[in-house]
Structure 1
Amino acid sequence: MSERTTGGEQPDFGPSGYLPERASKRARKIVLRAPLGSQWIVASLLAGLVVVVAGVMFLLRSGDPPAEPWTAVGRVEDLPPSAALDHLDAVLVTAGGRVRVFAGADGVAYCPASNRLEDGRQVWNLTGRGLGGAPSLDEHPTLVHDGTVYVDPTRTSPGPSPTDDAAEPAC
């Protein structure tokens, strides 16, 4: 059927519906004139109920502290600028306004004179970037929940690329 149907003629194919004259020339939209059944109302109510239940469950669980393998380290206000975490083989640094835990950083401590991390021979900035040829420090993920610091000792992320900027220990 190559000729166009006009007027009140019904085509022999395709869905029934009304195609406005302007749209028929551009073939952009079809406006169907069939009412939606009650199953659409029930489906939309069920979808809304699922969203509400999921939201309530999220809000109830969002106040819980993190689960294993996260380990509580201590309250933020009670922690010093740096402290060795021997049970995790790491060092905790709270100086600089951010809590960080660096893996395998034996002997590393915060030096207030330089505002850097030092071990007596090597120097790092507060992000763990190695300065003056020191290798950068790998970092454990940390989380502060209700004022308590939590650490995930099972994962580490590599530190930033070290720089050759000259840096001498100040402490």
Structure 2
Amino acid sequence: MTPPPSPSAPPPADDAEFGPGGYLPQRAAQRARKIVLREQMGVHWPIAAVVAGVLTLAITVPLVLSSTGAPDPPFVDAGPLAAIDPAGDGLVDVDGTEVLVVRGGGVLRAFADPPDGARWCPTSRRVEAPDGRVWTAQGRLIAGDGESLQPAAVTAYEGALYIDPAGGSDALPPNPGTQTPAC
């Protein structure tokens, strides 16, 4: 008496009705069109993986290396970042445009053409003007009449401050309320 074939042994070649049987039992080999055969992968798979890795590196490395460095125009070097109070603000002139740079809120922000006297108030953590207008750290008007502050694009690189006064996002819509200045 002959022992039955093991499930991992390939079926005899003459039993398969179509296609290769691989290492499948006879019933599974009959449905071989619908299932993936378990066969050894050829050497082309590791080669394809290495080629894909090399292509990824060839694209990523130049991209990362080109993205480091000082920002390109229209950003303008506005002087050293140390000139701006780390807990407050500072006014800088960028190509004839006055820009209020705020560091006091924990994030570097800039606003082009701020109203006269508008400064960062550390007590309220808002920008306030002497006429009673108050803006959030993002520049939204929350007290008084007028418009929100116009954001300017700002970044710092190796201790230098770079500003694009016209490159910021749109001003937020005002939302005046009953806030009162704290400074």
- Normalising by structure 1, we get a TM-score of 0.69
Aligned to 1:118: 128
CA contact 1:91–1:106 (8 Å) conserved in 2 = no
> Residues 100 and 20 of structure 1: is their aligned pair in 2 closer, same or farther, counting only changes over 3 Å?
same
| Structure 2 residue 108 is the aligned partner of structure 1 residue 99 | yes
Where do 5+ consecutive residues of structure 2 fail to align? 1-10
Structure 1 runs, 4 residues or longer, greater than 6 Å off: 24-28
Structure 2 residue aligned with 1:162: 174
Q: Does the Cα contact within 8 Å between 2:78 and 2:92 map onto a contact in 1? A: no
The corresponding residue for 2:4 is: none
Where is the helix percentage greater, Structure 1 or Structure 2? 1
Change (3 A) 1:79 1:32: same
CA RMSD of aligned residues (A): 3.5
Change (3 A) 1:68 1:17: farther
Mapped to 2, the partners of 1:168 and 1:94 lie a distance apart of: 22
C-alpha distance in 1 between matches for 2:143 and 2:136: 11
What are structure 1's unaligned runs of at least 5 residues? Answer: 1-5
Report the alpha carbon displacement of residue 17 of structure 1 after superposing the two structures with TM.
4.8
Between 155-164 and 74-83, report the one with greater CA deviation. 155-164
Q: Tell whether 2:154 aligns with 1:147.
A: no
Amino acid at match of 2:157: H
Say which of 82, 91, 102 aligns to 2:90.
82
Of the candidates 48, 53, 67, which is equivalent to residue 53 of structure 2?
A: 48
Residue by residue over 1:87-112, the C-alpha shift from the partner in whole angstroms, topping out at 9 and shown as x without a partner, is 33432222222211113323222245
Any idea what SS the aligned residue of 1:143 has? Answer: strand
SS of corresponding position for 1:72: strand
Within the alignment, does 1:29 sit opposite 2:35 as a pair? yes
Counterpart mapping for 1:6-17 below 5 A = 8-12=14-18, 16-17=20-21
Q: How many angstroms does 1:16 deviate by?
A: 3.6
User: 1:26 and 1:17 mapped to 2: Cα distance?
Assistant: 7
Q: CA deviation at 1:115?
A: 4.0
Which AA in structure 2 matches 1:140?
A
Partner of residue 3, structure 1: none
Preserved CA contact (<8 Å) 1:103 1:139: yes
Report the residue type matching 2:105 in the other structure.
Answer: G
* TM-score, normalised via structure 2 length: 0.65
**CA distance 1:20–1:151, change in 2 (3 Å):** farther
Distance 1:26 1:75 in 2: 70
Distance 1:55 1:154, change over 3 A: same
Structure-2 change in CA distance of 1:59 and 1:163 (3 Å):
closer
Contact 1:83 1:92 in 2 (8 A): yes
For these two proteins, the number of residue pairs brought into alignment is: 163
Larger Rg: 2
